[in-house]
Amino acid sequence: MEEATSPTEAKSLLDGRYELGRLLGHGTFAKVYLARNLRTGHNVAMKVVAKEKVLRVGMAEQVKREISAMKMVTHPNIVELHEVMATRSKIYFAMELVRGGELFSRIARHGRLREDPARRYFRQLLSAVAFCHARGVYHRDLKPENLLLDDRGNLKVADFGLSAFAGPDLLRTACGTPAYVAPEVIARKGYDGGKADLWSCGVVLYVLLAGFLPFQDDNVLAMYRKTHRGDFRCPPWFSADARRLVTRLLDPNPATRITVAEILDTPWFKKPSTDPPPPPPPAAAEKDSAEEPERLNAFHLISLSRGFDLSPLFEQGGGAGGGMRFATTEPASGVISRLEGLAGRGGGGGSGLRVTKSSAAGVRLEGGEGGKGRLAVAAEIFAVAPSVLVVDVRRDGGDSLEYRSFCSNELRPALKDIVWAAAADAPATTAAA
């Protein structure tokens, strides 16, 4: 078995931050190790991807998409990506360590679930999927093998390697696991990623309640024909409400398939659970610094920029969203103070904004209800060098026109004097430091 990386390379990369431990598992392109964060003492799962293998099979874009997707979807029921590091030969994903194993393993060991625990897992799955969809991320490979359980029995969605982002056009790539793939994906005529994910959620729910798949056949083509016809039967132990929900999820017509909002209103989903709630999580540890910005590395930069062109990080224009992304030598505390001052200033639109912390070095500005919902602006601060920060401002809710007006008329003028005007003259290595 090949080493995760050479000792010299690992020491240089991890730089006293992580200590690699035993191998937890491996796949075609990656191995996962137990690792310990030496600064916090917390254990993480370190996924190590071999660059050469990824490039050889043309999967570089897929890896970048996985990183970008996971950075966008921080949620209690999604495995968290803490940071990404890279050497010349390896890519390291420091991820949340989920100790309870796969939901698939539980079903394989114990068989089908009663409706109460199945409902609890399904609620958590739907919460994670709806969160992803709201941020324009489609998973496209939802199945029990990609649903992990933590040590408190909570579900965590993992493996965003086949994920896609929302756009103006239908998706075309046929991907996923055959038994869980929606019929419109197989048809290769274009599909809505959100509706396809809900079909997969329906297959997962069926498996939880039945202990076996709804569409089964030794011949894959025959199984696909059953999928296209919606040819399945619910076992007699399904309750009437469960049968109705599964049937609406496994509707082969995506136009009439049940939506997230409709699922939330179904009797089966709303039924009170008799399962005892999981124990509360332990109190979060105090951070060394309340306003220490996250250290930005090369693969965070990729997720923030268009391809490998890092120049947009130092542009004041915000693209289609009308926001801002700029470099500054101002400390994080100074940037946050400016934003708090803007929100509290009288006379302008900023006066109606409420400021809350969104991360160790990030804030969220939220206003009152507008014509298209509550305007919310998120600002995150990242370090790209000891004395250089990148501030990424984006719309997090509300009307896009109102957001662009706020950025142009209030945000940019308020921050103009701290934008690093000399960015164009800086050495090219600064951005990737």
Give me the residues of the chain with pLDDT under 70, please. 1-15, 275-323, 344-352, 357-362, 368-373, 383-388, 420-433
Residues whose CB falls within 8 Å of the CB of residue 30, separated by 6 or more in sequence, listed in order: 47, 48, 49, 50
- Please give the CATH topology (third level) of the domain spanning 11-96: Phosphorylase Kinase; domain 1 (3.30.200)
Calculate the CA 251 to chain-centre distance: 27
- Tell me the C-alpha to C-alpha distance, in Å, between residue 177 and each of 180, 206, 267, 344: 6, 16, 30, 51
141 is catalytic: yes
DSSP result, 200-253: HHHHHHHHHHHSS-SS--SSHHHHHHHHHHT-----TTS-HHHHHHHHHHT-S-
| Residues annotated within a binding site | 51
| Residues annotated within a binding site for ATP | 51
Can you give the residue ranges of every domain in the chain?
Answer: 11-96, 103-270, 294-430
In the numeric block, the tokens 């409709």 are attached to: 262
Q: What is the DSSP-derived secondary structure letter of residue 164? A: E
Q: What is the pLDDT of residue 346?
A: 45
User: Which of the listed CATH numbers 1.10.150.50, 1.10.510.10, 3.50.30.50, 1.10.275.10 matches domain 103-270?
Assistant: 1.10.510.10
How far is residue 248's CA from residue 214's CA, in Å, rounded to a whole number? Answer: 13
Q: What is the pLDDT of residue 415?
A: 81
Biggest CA-to-CA distance, the chain: 71
Q: What is the pLDDT of residue 8?
A: 54
The residue from 141, 159, 197, 392 that is catalytic is 141
User: Which of the listed CATH numbers 3.40.80.10, 3.30.310.80, 1.20.120.10, 2.30.110.10 matches domain 294-430?
Assistant: 3.30.310.80
Regarding beta strands 155-157 and 147-149, do their DSSP bridges make them parallel or antiparallel, or are they unpaired?
antiparallel
Calculate the CA 371 to chain-centre distance: 28
In the numeric block, the tokens 């890279």 are attached to: 86
CB 117 within 8 A of CB 154: no
Q: Determine the residue type at 25.
A: G
CB 183 within 8 A of CB 227: yes
Q: What is the pLDDT of residue 318?
A: 42
How far is residue 26's CA from residue 30's CA, in Å, rounded to a whole number? Answer: 6
330 backbone φψ class: left, alpha, beta (φ>0; ψ -120 to 50): beta
What's the first-to-final CA gap in the chain, in angstroms? 32
Answer yes or no: same fold for 103-270 and 294-430.
no
Phi first, then psi: what are they for 381, rounded to 5°?
-120, 130
Q: What is the DSSP-derived secondary structure letter of residue 266? A: S
Q: CB burial class (10 A; 0-12, 13-18, 19+) of residue 396? A: middle
Q: What is the pLDDT of residue 108?
A: 87
CB atoms within 10 A of CB 347: 6
